[in-house]
Amino acid sequence: MPVRDAEVADIEEICALIEEHARFEGNDSLVLDRVEMTKHLFGPEPKAWVLVASPPGEPGAVAGLAFCSWNFSTWEGQPGIWLDDLYIRPEHRRHGLGGELLAALRARTTGRVEWDMQEGNDKAAAFYAQLGAEPVPGWIRYRWSPGRG
Protein backbone atom coordinates (compact mmCIF):
# COMPACT_ATOMS: atom_id res chain seq x y z
CA MET A 1 0.00 0.00 0.00
CA PRO A 2 1.47 3.40 -0.91
CA VAL A 3 0.16 5.15 2.24
CA ARG A 4 1.81 4.87 5.65
CA ASP A 5 2.24 6.73 8.92
CA ALA A 6 5.10 9.21 8.81
CA GLU A 7 8.19 8.53 10.89
CA VAL A 8 10.79 10.87 12.38
CA ALA A 9 13.06 10.14 9.41
CA ASP A 10 10.39 11.72 7.14
CA ILE A 11 10.58 15.18 8.75
CA GLU A 12 12.60 16.76 5.93
CA GLU A 13 10.15 15.47 3.29
CA ILE A 14 7.15 16.54 5.39
CA CYS A 15 8.46 20.09 5.78
CA ALA A 16 9.54 20.24 2.13
CA LEU A 17 6.05 19.17 0.99
CA ILE A 18 4.37 21.78 3.18
CA GLU A 19 6.72 24.47 1.85
CA GLU A 20 6.10 23.30 -1.75
CA HIS A 21 2.36 23.48 -1.13
CA ALA A 22 2.73 27.01 0.25
CA ARG A 23 4.63 28.07 -2.88
CA PHE A 24 2.02 26.37 -5.07
CA GLU A 25 -0.61 28.51 -3.30
CA GLY A 26 1.45 31.72 -3.66
CA ASN A 27 3.25 31.89 -0.30
CA ASP A 28 6.92 32.12 -1.24
CA SER A 29 8.17 32.94 2.24
CA LEU A 30 7.20 29.90 4.34
CA VAL A 31 10.20 28.11 5.84
CA LEU A 32 9.45 25.62 8.61
CA ASP A 33 11.70 24.94 11.59
CA ARG A 34 12.47 21.23 11.30
CA VAL A 35 13.29 20.86 15.01
CA GLU A 36 9.99 22.43 16.07
CA MET A 37 8.02 20.34 13.57
CA THR A 38 9.74 17.19 14.83
CA LYS A 39 8.71 18.08 18.38
CA HIS A 40 5.11 18.80 17.35
CA LEU A 41 4.75 15.60 15.32
CA PHE A 42 6.95 13.09 17.13
CA GLY A 43 7.67 14.51 20.59
CA PRO A 44 6.32 13.22 23.90
CA GLU A 45 3.01 15.08 23.37
CA PRO A 46 2.39 15.15 19.60
CA LYS A 47 -0.04 17.81 18.41
CA ALA A 48 -0.60 16.44 14.90
CA TRP A 49 0.24 13.44 12.73
CA VAL A 50 1.02 12.80 9.10
CA LEU A 51 0.33 10.13 6.53
CA VAL A 52 2.68 9.96 3.56
CA ALA A 53 2.04 8.49 0.12
CA SER A 54 4.63 6.87 -2.13
CA PRO A 55 4.34 6.98 -5.90
CA PRO A 56 3.61 3.74 -7.75
CA GLY A 57 6.79 1.69 -8.15
CA GLU A 58 8.84 3.93 -5.83
CA PRO A 59 8.21 2.66 -2.28
CA GLY A 60 10.96 4.79 -0.67
CA ALA A 61 9.94 8.08 -2.28
CA VAL A 62 7.41 10.52 -0.81
CA ALA A 63 4.93 11.94 -3.31
CA GLY A 64 2.43 13.56 -0.96
CA LEU A 65 1.00 13.89 2.51
CA ALA A 66 -2.05 14.31 4.67
CA PHE A 67 -1.30 16.47 7.74
CA CYS A 68 -3.91 15.83 10.44
CA SER A 69 -5.02 16.19 14.03
CA TRP A 70 -7.85 14.71 16.04
CA ASN A 71 -10.93 16.75 16.85
CA PHE A 72 -14.10 15.95 18.73
CA SER A 73 -17.72 16.58 17.79
CA THR A 74 -19.95 17.19 20.78
CA TRP A 75 -23.01 16.80 18.56
CA GLU A 76 -21.89 13.38 17.37
CA GLY A 77 -20.23 12.42 20.65
CA GLN A 78 -17.16 11.02 18.96
CA PRO A 79 -13.72 11.94 17.64
CA GLY A 80 -13.05 12.87 14.07
CA ILE A 81 -10.12 14.01 11.99
CA TRP A 82 -9.19 17.52 10.97
CA LEU A 83 -7.23 17.45 7.71
CA ASP A 84 -5.08 20.56 7.73
CA ASP A 85 -3.12 19.87 4.57
CA LEU A 86 -3.46 17.45 1.67
CA TYR A 87 -0.79 17.83 -0.98
CA ILE A 88 0.49 15.65 -3.80
CA ARG A 89 3.50 16.82 -5.78
CA PRO A 90 2.34 17.79 -9.30
CA GLU A 91 4.43 15.11 -11.03
CA HIS A 92 2.69 12.40 -8.96
CA ARG A 93 -0.91 13.51 -9.44
CA ARG A 94 -3.47 11.41 -11.29
CA HIS A 95 -2.22 8.16 -9.71
CA GLY A 96 -4.95 8.03 -7.06
CA LEU A 97 -2.68 9.02 -4.16
CA GLY A 98 -5.00 11.77 -2.89
CA GLY A 99 -7.86 9.28 -2.80
CA GLU A 100 -5.65 6.72 -1.04
CA LEU A 101 -4.70 9.27 1.64
CA LEU A 102 -8.31 10.27 2.22
CA ALA A 103 -9.46 6.64 2.31
CA ALA A 104 -6.81 5.94 4.95
CA LEU A 105 -8.17 8.84 7.03
CA ARG A 106 -11.76 7.69 6.58
CA ALA A 107 -10.74 4.23 7.84
CA ARG A 108 -9.33 5.72 11.08
CA THR A 109 -12.58 7.17 12.41
CA THR A 110 -16.31 6.60 12.42
CA GLY A 111 -16.63 10.35 13.01
CA ARG A 112 -16.22 13.29 10.68
CA VAL A 113 -13.25 13.95 8.43
CA GLU A 114 -13.22 17.70 7.77
CA TRP A 115 -11.01 20.21 5.98
CA ASP A 116 -10.97 23.62 4.35
CA MET A 117 -10.63 24.30 0.66
CA GLN A 118 -9.67 27.57 -0.94
CA GLU A 119 -12.54 29.16 -2.87
CA GLY A 120 -12.26 28.80 -6.61
CA ASN A 121 -10.33 25.51 -6.56
CA ASP A 122 -12.65 23.77 -9.01
CA LYS A 123 -10.40 20.74 -9.54
CA ALA A 124 -10.26 20.03 -5.80
CA ALA A 125 -14.02 20.59 -5.45
CA ALA A 126 -14.69 18.06 -8.22
CA PHE A 127 -12.29 15.56 -6.62
CA TYR A 128 -13.95 15.90 -3.21
CA ALA A 129 -17.43 15.62 -4.72
CA GLN A 130 -16.36 12.42 -6.49
CA LEU A 131 -15.52 10.99 -3.04
CA GLY A 132 -18.94 11.97 -1.73
CA ALA A 133 -17.69 14.90 0.39
CA GLU A 134 -19.81 18.05 0.49
CA PRO A 135 -19.30 21.67 1.54
CA VAL A 136 -20.79 22.50 4.93
CA PRO A 137 -23.62 25.01 4.33
CA GLY A 138 -24.33 27.72 6.83
CA TRP A 139 -20.95 27.68 8.60
CA ILE A 140 -18.20 30.27 8.45
CA ARG A 141 -14.72 29.55 9.76
CA TYR A 142 -13.24 32.04 12.23
CA ARG A 143 -9.59 32.38 13.17
CA TRP A 144 -8.25 34.07 16.28
CA SER A 145 -4.52 34.62 15.92
CA PRO A 146 -2.13 35.61 18.73
CA GLY A 147 -1.80 39.34 19.29
CA ARG A 148 -5.32 40.16 18.15
CA GLY A 149 -7.88 41.20 20.68
Q: Which residues are catalytic?
A: 128
CA gap 53, 107 in Å, rounded: 16
Cα end-to-end distance, the chain, whole Å: 47
* Distance between CA atoms of residues 81 and 86, nearest Å: 13
Asked if residues 104 and 127 have their Cβ atoms less than 8 Å apart, the reply is: no
The sheet carrying 78-88 orders its strands as 3-5, 49-53, 64-73, 78-88, 113-115
